[in-house]
A and B are shown apart, each in its own frame.
Chain A
Amino acid sequence: DGGITQSPKYLFRKEGQNVTLSCEQNLNHDAMYWYRQDPGQGLRLIYYSQIVNDFQKGDIAEGYSVSREKKESFPLTVTSAQKNPTAFYLCASSIAGAGADTQYFGPGTRLTVL
């Protein structure tokens, strides 16, 4: 089955730790995205990548980093510089850039800072 997987489903982080969230897709999509969702709010774009080895900052990139070494994978690292990382993180992919194609979402990772 084609789709987007995210792991882990739940993640707990101590203050000062970096953590990495995994996102994998087997849809052969070129573009991938990371969003953050806070309770009762919409989605805000963190980073996006339209092609392997290239990515751009979204609206709230500070305290986050990404890599895109493979077409299938777009991991997100939440660094200690992100002061309020507790949120629901959603990864998405599309055939090409969002202007042309629907974005499809993974199941999400819920990150909690202890």
Chain B
Amino acid sequence: ELKVEQNPLFLSMQEGKNYTIYCNYSTTSDRLYWYRQDPGKSLESLFVLLSNGAVKQEGRLMASLDTKARLSTLHITAAVHDLSATYFCAVVRGSRLTFGEGTQLTVNP
């Protein structure tokens, strides 16, 4: 059974600081997604990482994938309040996705 674990689950940080969210998964997969969810809203696709060593960047967010370590990271650079949301990683298993529990990020002024 594929298990996907994110840490931390809760993250409170100050504007302007950097931080990294980690996503570990238990079985082999070569495709991983990151999504963002605002409170009470749906999920928005951020990144898809397709192969070992893949790195994608959009604004202050950068995601990477290490399939050998079964680890993906979402790095936040110089955080701003607008990044406050819950971030999910999701790992492909056959034709399905398995989601992590999510990391609730709060960026304080």
Identify the A interface with B (CB < 8 A): 31, 40-45, 48, 50, 58, 90, 92, 97-99, 102-108
Give which listed residue, B4, B42, B95, contacts A108 with CB less than 8 A. B42
Residue pair B96, A50 in contact (C-beta under 8 Å): no
Residue pair A107, B97 in contact (C-beta under 8 Å): no
- Interface residues contributed by chain B, number (CB under 8 Å): 23
Q: How far is the CB of A70 from chain B (nearest CB, A)?
A: 20
Residue pair B95, A106 in contact (C-beta under 8 Å): no
Identify the B interface with A (CB < 8 A): 4, 31, 33, 35, 41-45, 48, 88, 90, 92, 94-102, 104
Please list the 7 inter-chain residue pairs (A to B) with the smallest Cβ-Cβ separation, ordered nearest first.
A97-B95, A42-B99, A105-B43, A43-B99, A105-B42, A42-B101, A98-B97
Complex Cα spacing A42 to B31, Å: 18
Residue pair A58, B96 in contact (C-beta under 8 Å): yes
Q: A90-B43, A105-B42 are in contact. List 17 more A-B contacts (CB 8 A).
A: A31-B95, A40-B101, A40-B102, A41-B102, A42-B88, A42-B102, A45-B97, A48-B95, A90-B42, A92-B43, A97-B95, A99-B92, A103-B45, A103-B97, A104-B45, A106-B42, A108-B42
